[in-house]
Amino acid sequence: MMGGIQHTRVARGRKTKVCAVDLFCGAGGLTKGLENAGIDVRLGIDVDPTCEFPYTANNKAKFLPKSVDDVESHEIEEAFQKNCIRLLAGCAPCQTFSTYNQKATSEDKRWWLLRQFSRLILETTPELITMENVPRLRKQAVFQEFVEALEGAQYHVTHDVVNCEDYGVPQHRQRLVLLASRLGPVHLLTPTEFGATRITVRKAIGDLAPLEAGEISTSDPMHRASILSKTNLKRIEASRPGGSWRDWQEDLVAECHRKRSGKTYPSVYGRMSWSESAPTITTQFFGFGNGRFGHPEQNRAISLREGAILQSFPKDYLFAPPDEPVKIKSVGRLIGNAVPPVLGEVIGRSVLAHVSNYPNAMENAHLGARSHA
């Protein structure tokens, strides 16, 4: 496997070390993937304080609770280790560019976050850049501005929309991935180069202990399912894998779906299929009525742990301190907003494969860093 051979040579030979700072780091999905690939992530930055525990409990990097608006270039430069190729990674919050937010305009402040990412790139000039976001961003003027700024700063830029399930993430998740390098042309490893195989829902979560709606596992507080009303319990009992509310008898159908406009939302109130990938895990995946998030055979929505696993987080990833109760909405939001760690590993191994083509990159980077300083 080409990607694996290059990755092994870089990691074991240590001819070239890559260190990273993760902007908008969230609960640490991208950082975990980069670390798994062999990249030394030095710092994660996020304005949300609830990210700090999962980020630091599961990763080696330090955490800085700060808005990117207020981050200064020296804070990033000081985090990077000397004698390494520097990678600045970022996934600006994507709600503005999501299909769920059709009213966004260029004046929306959240678009400013991408411009702040661009500011920090131009002020620190790291050798490598990566960004992950929703596909719709690619069509926005602010993204074109971002790419043009990188190209004007002598970066080779590539970007494409990928389906995460092609890389072994057990869900159908379309994401925009950008890579940029001052060393030379760069590309994302293909699924074949990465050595990926598709993973079904059964393979991902089929071995977890059964739960009732509202039940919490005694061995894992993250394996907990939301309570269902009597009506929703009847609805899920009437649901079949891969189906929707259209399969129910008339008295179970919600009033909003009986209207003509409701006919356009067939993907809510459905069960997942064991033999397929999961649908996109959103921040509301723990609710049966929020999508096709019903368990394939148990009468409940998937648990927080199941959602995290379908996002490709390790089964023992911690999202809340052991001595504190798990807040379903808060943790669900962290999981749904995360970069899947497996996608992070794809990015990391792509970066290492790229750097291995430039044996003098370390020396040049070191000289460039001294010159910039």
Place of tokens 């929309």: 161
Distance from first CA to last CA of the chain, Å, rounded?
40
Side-by-side strand order, sheet with 18-23: 62-65, 40-46, 18-23, 85-90, 128-133, 174-181, 156-163
Contacts of 158 (CB under 8 A, 6+ apart): 178, 179, 180, 185, 186, 187, 188
**CA angle 92–134–69, rounded 5-degree value:** 10
CB 88 within 8 A of CB 100: no
**Among 19, 94, 164, 256, the one annotated catalytic:** 94
Residue 101 CA to residue 115 CA, distance in Å, equals 19
C-alpha distances in angstroms, 201 versus 197, 204, 222, 267, 280? Answer: 13, 5, 18, 17, 12
Structure-token pair, residue 180: 């940029």
Question: 251: phi > 0 → left, psi -120 to 50 → alpha, else beta; which?
Answer: alpha
Specify whether 94 is catalytic.
Answer: yes
CB atoms within 10 A of CB 220: 16
Supply φ then ψ for residue 344, to 5 degrees: -60, -40
Where are any strands of DSSP class E within the chain?
A: 18-23, 40-46, 62-65, 85-90, 128-133, 156-163, 174-181
Structure tokens, 243: 């189906």
Which residue numbers are catalytic?
94
